Amino acid sequence: MLPLPAFADNYIWMLHDAQDAVVVDPGDAAPVIEALRRTGLRLQAILVTHHHADHTGGVRELREATGAVVHGPAHESVPEPVARMAQGDAATVLNGLRFEVFDVPGHTSGHIAYYCPAVPGAAGATGPVEAASPVLFCGDTLFSGGCGRLFEGTPAQMQASLDTLAALPGDTLVCCAHEYTLSNLRFAQAVEPGHQALLHYLSECESLRAQGRPTLPSRLATERNINPFLRTREAAVAQAACGFDASVDPGDAVQVLAALRQWKNEFR
């Protein structure tokens, strides 16, 4: 599984079986075409999580060049033809890998995510290669240390979407679409300044970036431990949100998330 850098901070995820490949959210065709040339792989399928141009801009060119089948959200405008996917559907790719589809609105109104419980040979940035790992392609819903901006959805939708993803197994590899980790973790420090697991993870990620390596994928267990947007029911996070906005009910996870998201929007 390869993160192909694109634009300033995007990753286009490429999953392959040594012959065929699948890519996720190809906002730019060029990095994919170069990777296919370099590896000799054939592009079989494209998975799209949402309609933003930095996730769909290369879809048409790649489909025309390779004949790849495109899977995308049922309720958003993405380049046709596309196999429309929604909660309860599944995209089967490569040698029978079945990616379940979750509706995860919030960043956009029709955002979806793809989850496979066992992908052979997948490995995290700081973890060893395993026989198989659960893999989550979550687009811009969940980031390492953060979550997406609420461009079209509501805080209640985002809270529900994050709850859905947080319920997946802890060893799930979180393959999000942007290298936002360090800035997200600096915000997380402001929310929970004394959180030792967060400080340790920040140090690991700073070391990876200093070596020019991606911080992704992360592990869902790590995110549940350090990501404030997955910790809206933790007392320390709720109290920090109240410090930003005194009107927040600390017992209401949706209000806490809304305050955190606004705080992050303004955070420098």
The set of catalytic residues is: 50, 52, 54-55, 107, 140, 178
Question: What is the C-alpha separation between 58 and 64, in angstroms, rounded?
Answer: 10
Q: Which residue has the tokens 């600096």?
A: 186
Structure letter (DSSP) for residue 58:
T
Helix (H, G, I), strand (E, B), or coil: what is residue 263? helix
Give the number of C-alpha atoms closer than 13 A to the C-alpha of residue 40, restricted to the C-beta side: 2
Helix (H, G, I), strand (E, B), or coil: what is residue 107? coil
| Angle between helix 253-266 and 155-166 (nearest 10) | 100
Q: How far apart are the first and last CA of the chain?
A: 33
Please give the helix or strand (H or E) that residue 218 lies within, else none. strand 218-219
Radius of gyration of the chain (CA): 18
Q: Of 44, 39, 51, whose CA–CA distance to 2 is shortest?
A: 39
Residue 241 and residue 248 in contact, taking contact as beta carbons nearer than 8 Å = yes
Q: Which residue type, as a one-letter code, is found at position 40?
A: G
Those residues whose C-beta lies under 8 Å from the C-beta of residue 160, and which sit 6 or more positions away, are: none
Please give the helix or strand (H or E) that residue 141 lies within, else none. none
Q: Of 228, 222, 215, 224, whose CA–CA distance to 263 is shortest?
A: 228
